[in-house]
Amino acid sequence: MQQTLTQQVAELKQRFVENEEVSFFINDELIGLRVDNPFATAIILLQGAQLLEFTPRDKARLIWCSEAVEYKQGKPLRGGIPICWPWFGPLKNNVEAITLQVHAEQAPQHGFARSQDWHLESITTSRLGTTKLVFTLTDNEISRAYFDKSFALQLSFTIGESLDVALTVKNTGDSELSFTGALHSYFAVSDINKTRIFGLDNLPFIDSVNADESAVQSGALDITQETDRIYFAPEIREAQELHDPLTQTTHLEIAREPCSDLLVKCPERKIKIRSRGSKSAIVWNPWIEKSRGLSQFKDDEYLEMLCVETANAHLDFITLAPQHEHVLAASIAYAN
């Protein structure tokens, strides 16, 4: 394995020899790259195209990764920005439009995209000195073990004063493709006990910790206990019940406004999250008890991380006609 990894890194260095701000490395069983430009440093793995670090120049890191991660093939790391696709969470928690597409008896949490090796398509440097990296993933033997759908994913990272992430999903098949997904972003906070999230006021949410109870947020969100919620943008019309004659299933379609900007505020930093193509957002922190049972996670690391995920989750699922595409994107930066 090590010889194969070494050969792959040599080929990557040859392909991108002109991109001096990017270097490649091997950590145990995985290949990664480091971007070091005038604006920030970033680390991205080829497995899952998973970004592990984003640290603006002369500032504290914005993206968090556990110190207990294991760099093993087929095992997503705890932290960074894992890509959840083509379903979010347990498959059984998704709508029938998605679950009926999957023929595997066992389906991994958050889909299969985060554990596959992506292809590094390109690296470009702008005149301003920002670095853009593009990764791709298409349907393959692994994906077809779960469902027979044709797709093309493109994931781009632009490393500058902000971190801009965009996941483009194209349906390359001849039938509809339905999916959920998320940019499962782990943010570094200085003290979870003094962290507040602004921008969720008056939004409805589903509380996964309390048996999927529905409620409405009042004011800023303080993290004081285990938190696992899906927030939804405001509805702009009543839900409509739609029937799919092909699958003989019925689902609800809810028209919603796009999610508003979110602000994570804690001592020493304010983080602004601007989303596009998303009408749902997930907020997660495992707190004390759950942290003790998590893999690749130290017992006290809940104090220094918070997931705020740009998503298409639950009823905010996407259905694409053949040859159509959808973009899920987030821009992350220090707020003034």
Check which CATH number belongs to the domain holding 82 and give it.
2.70.98.10
List the alpha helices (DSSP H) in the chain: 2-15, 96-99, 141-144, 287-291
Q: How many domains does the chain have?
A: 1
Task: Detail the DSSP E strand segments found in 106-198.
Answer: 119-125, 131-138, 151-159, 163-171, 177-179, 181-183, 186-188, 196-198
pLDDT of the residue at 245: 45
The total of other beta-carbon atoms located within 10 Å of residue 274's CB is 16
Residue 159 CA to residue 47 CA, distance in Å, equals: 19
pLDDT (tens, 9 = 90+) of the chain, 336 residues, equals: 888 999 999 999 999 999 999 999 999 999 999 999 999 999 999 999 999 999 999 999 999 999 999 999 999 999 999 999 999 999 999 999 999 999 998 999 999 999 999 999 999 999 999 999 999 999 999 999 999 999 999 999 999 999 999 999 999 999 999 999 999 999 999 999 999 999 999 999 999 999 999 999 999 999 999 999 999 998 644 555 555 444 455 544 555 566 679 999 999 899 999 999 999 999 999 999 999 999 999 999 999 999 999 999 999 999 999 999 999 999 999 998
pLDDT at site 234: 81
**Residue 27 and residue 43: Cα distance in Å, rounded?**
12
| Domain region containing 66 | 2-334
Q: What is the pLDDT of residue 2?
A: 80
